[in-house]
Amino acid sequence: MVAIDELIHRAYLCKLVGEDGLMIVESMPEEEVTDEFLAEKTAISLNTVRRTLYLLYEHRLAIYRRKRDPDSGWLTYLWKLCPENLEKAMEAEARRLISKLDERLAYEKNNIFYACVAGCARFVFEEASEANFVCPFCEGSLEFLDNGKIVECIEQKMTGLESALQH
């Protein structure tokens, strides 16, 4: 059995494959197993097991090999976890998040925003001006929105992720 002890690893896997997927990961023995074996062992549907295994494979957290039955010609997939790749996968995810946050930060810094006083939506200046500063949803007025807190929050998240990568 693979034990996922660190909370950060559990959280990452849970985000990646969900609660059922985490149960599948923790039920996998060290040796190769079939998806049918895992479905039977965990009482989780075969489709969910297969989806989980393929997600893990896409993130280099599992590998498989195919074995052909000489009599029937059927292919059997034998799966094995690669827990040694967990840190690399988490680093790649952190870098992807930093990139997305950087894009969002640039968007927030390069635009002026107006928001509906009733809270319907937020608009960039061009959209607000085209609508004559009237909300197209509720006809309420659009007022200037200081997005400084949003910028600050994004910068804090980026700093946290970047410092985590350096450790």
For a pLDDT cut of 70, what percent of the chain falls above it?
98
pLDDT digits (tens, 9 = 90+) for 124-149: 999 999 999 999 999 999 999 999 99
- 73 and 123 in a single domain? The answer is no
Residues 34, 59 within the same domain: yes
pLDDT tier at 5 (50, 70, 90 boundaries)?
Answer: confident
Note the pLDDT tens digit of each residue in 42-97: 999 999 999 999 999 999 999 999 999 899 999 999 999 999 999 999 999 999 99
Q: How many CB atoms lie within 10 A of CB 166?
A: 5
Q: Which residues of 59-71 are buried (b: 16+ CB within 10 A; e: fewer)?
A: bebbebeeeeeee
Q: What is the mean pLDDT of the chain?
A: 95
Q: Is residue 101 part of a domain?
A: yes
Domain that holds residue 28: 7-81
In a domain, 128, yes or no: yes
- Whether residue 128 is found in the same domain as residue 156: yes
Distances (CA, A) of 109 to 41, 128, 154: 52, 17, 11
**Same domain, yes or no, for 99 and 136?**
yes
Residue 2 pLDDT class (50, 70, 90 cuts): low
Domain finish residue from 81, 101, 120: 81
Could you tell me if 34 and 99 lie in one domain? Answer: no
- Domain holding 38: CATH number? 1.10.10.10
- Please determine, for residue 154, whether its predicted confidence score (pLDDT) is greater than 80: yes
Q: Tell me, what's the pLDDT at 92? A: 93
Percent of the residues in the chain that have a pLDDT greater than 90, as a whole number: 92
Same domain, 30 and 75: yes
Q: Token pair for residue 119? A: 């809270």
| Residue type at 77 in one-letter notation | Y
Same domain? For 70 and 13 the reply is yes
Question: Which of these three, 81, 107, 123, is where a domain ends?
Answer: 81
Instruction: Indicate if 65 and 111 belong to the same structural domain.
Output: no
For the entire predicted model, the pTM comes to 0.75
pLDDT tops 90 at residue 6: no
Q: Kindly state the helix (H) or strand (E) to which residue 144 belongs, with its residue range.
A: strand 142-145
Identify whether residues 96 and 161 lie together within a single domain: yes
Of the residues 29, 49, 81, which one is the last residue of a structural domain?
Answer: 81
Name residue 1's amino acid: M
- Number of domains the chain is built from: 2
Q: Is the pLDDT of residue 167 over 80?
A: no
User: Is the pLDDT confidence value at 1 over 70?
Assistant: no
1 inside domain: no
Taking residue 13's Cβ as centre, other Cβ atoms within 10 Å add up to: 26
The answer to whether residues 125 and 60 belong to one domain is: no
Looking at the structure, tell me whether residues 116 and 156 fall in a common domain: yes
